[in-house]
A and B are shown apart, each in its own frame.
Chain A
């Protein structure tokens, strides 16, 4: 029989193995549980919740979808009108994504490939956007759009979102473009293709993965954004985005279960997109475009 000696190495290895398992459980707990709890509460009735606040399961017979019905129905029918908010958010997000990509792609191409006057200024501008507090920017924009009488419509919101997501979009697309060999483009140039033709026929098809990643990322930022939506739209209920709708809901007398149903409607689309496109999205996350 060999006696196992309690060396420091062995104790630490065993301890770390336990710590690793504990760590996995801990991190899964703190990341997944709140959202599980959100879904759980959205499916319970208010009486059930008040009766058993500590319970973290719901029996299938107690499942209750009334909260969702209440939240989604238009205000005229006693609901909270979230279908409308979903439509607004979809409009804001697709508008922001389409326009940001349309502006960022040529910009990224220029920054990656072409020498032009003021190229260095571009980097400086982007850095400025990273560092300035969003609230500092929010004040003049708020004043500006109030003065123009445009507050309450979603067009100004889209413009602001474009300006907020352009830097990170250009950064992501440029990184990708830098990795595409120039020789292919040069071959096309030699064969008589113009610069614009090169971009449309050669570069665009090659950067498709980066386009998808950037589009998803911009969509996520626009969907999640809150401060500008609050400042620009709060007085015009018919223009509310889902984020704004959920936050305004919590101020009035609405049952917690309905509140959680609204949060699920806000959160789940993003989490679903994220899980299907995680690989694409991580590139944007590390670029830090969401300002933290």
Chain B
């Protein structure tokens, strides 16, 4: 009886704190068990010599520890090339997706008949399953019966089909100049831009709708032309959201696996780090090596982000 009476005397705030903890604990348990601990465990695995075949009987936490995975990963030539490829993929993929998203936002910026449908259509590449999207791209780009090569042959007069997904370098003839183009890498970048521009589009549209009309009207009264109003009135107000998008998209593009793996399998000069991690794990059966590689990957991402943030902050201070 005594215990019960004391429980009654607890204040509302105290009771709420208990209820709150109880309500949030399932979430907490799952996130800790399925995210936090695994991440920490990856660090342990990275220091162990661990072939995939052995994981059923080996002690997965205790020593012996070794640095071999890291020396092996860091010394390989593939890694350097792969990180460079990933950086190219991320930088150009990010820029292209934001550029497309901005263009899309400007296109549906003003009302017209059927705008709702067009706006919904813009989101299709983002919501469609990546497996289906990659497959239809593969078919469209196929040298035998793909629509792109068929059109290239019939309309543009190509004498040979282009193997878009396996060609490491192709020659682009432009105005009498021949430029080498990393074909497959360009294709996976285009795929990334196509898949993710709707994300940038949504963010930019939301920001544009919130822009105050006064500045634009004032500029109009002052005789600024449409392009000038975009350059000097709209764009500066979008700078913040574009900077945010650049960070988010860079992180996510850097970590991409499915898009590249499904489209090229990492071939033709598109061996981004995440695909290499997967190869380490499944083809080479090297758990420790793949764990070490993901840590190197996370570290390079952190460094790239650090450089970016340093660069933007110092520029902001200069303009301020």
> A: which residues have CB within 8 A of B?
8-9, 12-13, 16, 20, 23-24, 27-28, 30-32, 34-35, 37-38, 41, 49-50, 53-54, 56, 103-104, 106-107, 109-111, 113-119, 122, 125, 128-137, 139-144, 146-147, 159-160, 162-163, 166-167, 170, 189, 195-196, 220, 223-224, 226-227, 243-244, 246-247, 250, 256, 259-260, 263-264, 266-267, 270-271, 274-275, 278, 281-282, 285-286, 288, 290-292
CB distance from B133 to the nearest CB of A (A): 7
Q: List 8 A-B contacts (CB under 8 A).
A: A27-B103, A125-B35, A125-B36, A128-B36, A163-B33, A246-B131, A274-B124, A278-B120
**What's the nearest-Cβ distance from chain A to residue B9, in Å?**
16
Task: Find out whether the CB atom of A135 lies under 8 angstroms from the CB atom of B16.
Answer: no
Expressed in whole angstroms, the Cα–Cα distance for A107 and B147 within the complex equals 49
* Minimum CB–CB distance for B85 against chain A, Å: 16
Asked if B202 contacts A285 (CB within 8 A), the reply is yes
Q: A53-B149, A122-B27, A271-B124 are in contact. List 19 more A-B contacts (CB 8 A).
A: A12-B225, A12-B226, A23-B103, A24-B108, A24-B118, A50-B145, A54-B154, A106-B27, A110-B20, A116-B16, A117-B21, A128-B36, A136-B39, A223-B129, A243-B129, A260-B136, A282-B123, A291-B255, A292-B253
Residue B125 at the chain A interface, CB threshold 8 Å? yes
Most chain B beta carbons < 10 A, residue from A53, A113, A246, A263: A53
Do B24 and A53 have beta carbons less than 8 Å apart? no
The CA-CA distance from A34 to B147 in the complex, in Å, is 10
Given contacts A41-B139, A224-B129, A271-B124, contact A12 B20 (CB under 8 A): no
User: Which of B's residues lie within 8 Å of A, judged by CB?
Assistant: 12-13, 15-17, 19-21, 23-24, 26-28, 30-39, 41-42, 45, 55-56, 60, 103-104, 106-108, 110, 112, 118, 120-133, 135-140, 142, 144-147, 149-151, 153-154, 194, 196, 198-199, 202-203, 206, 223, 225-227, 248-249, 251-258, 262, 274, 277-278, 281, 287, 290-291, 294-295, 297-298, 301
Does A137 contact B252, Cβ atoms closer than 8 Å? Answer: no
Considering the complex, give the chain B residue whose CB is closest to the CB of A220.
B127
Q: Which of A16, A114, A286 has the most CB of B within 10 A?
A: A114
Report whether A147 and B39 are in contact in the complex, using a CB–CB cutoff of 8 Å.
no
Least Cβ–Cβ distance between B126 and chain A, in angstroms: 7
Most chain B CB within a 10 A radius of its CB, from A41, A130, A196, A285: A285
Q: What residues of A have a CB within 8 angstroms of the CB of B41 in the complex?
A: 140, 144
B31 vs chain A, min Cβ distance (A): 5
| Shortest Cβ distance from residue B122 to the other chain A in the assembled complex, whole angstroms | 6
Instruction: Please judge, given known A-B contacts A139-B42, A195-B15, whether A38 and B132 are in contact too, CB under 8 Å.
Output: yes
Which of A53, A244, A288 contacts B146 (CB under 8 A)?
A: A53
User: Is B30 touching A166 in the complex (CB atoms < 8 A)?
Assistant: yes
- A129 and B35 in contact (CB under 8 A), knowing A139-B291, A139-B294? yes
With a cutoff of 8 Å between Cβ atoms, the chain A residues found around residue B26 in the complex are 103, 106-107
The one of A12, A37, A38, A144 that contacts B38, using a Cβ cutoff of 8 Å: A144
Would you call the interface of chain B mostly helix, strand, loop, or mixed?
A: helix
CA distance A37 to B137 in the complex (A): 10
Which residues of the partner chain A approach B33 to less than 8 Å between Cβ atoms?
163
Contact B298 A270 (CB under 8 A): no
Assembled-state Cα–Cα distance A250/B254 (Å): 26
Contact of B23 among A35, A37, A106, A243 (CB under 8 A): A106
Q: How far is the CA of A133 from the CA of B86 in the complex (A)?
A: 13
B16-A274 in contact (CB<8A): no
- Which residues of chain B are near A56, meaning CB under 8 Å? 147
Please, which residues of chain A bring their CB within 8 A of the CB of B203? 286
B226 touches A30 (CB 8 A): no
A140 and B39 contact, CB distance less than 8 A:
yes
Name the B residues within 8 Å of A9 (CB-CB): 223, 225-226
Closest Cβ–Cβ distance, residue B201 to chain A (whole Å): 9
Residues in A with CB closer than 8 Å to B255 are 132-135, 291-292
Q: From residue B70, how far is it (CB to closest CB) to chain A in Å?
A: 15
Point out the residues of chain B lying under 8 angstroms from A23, CB to CB: 103-104, 106-107
The residues of B that contact A223 with a CB separation of less than 8 Å are 129
Distance (whole angstroms) from the CB of A202 to the closest CB of chain B: 15
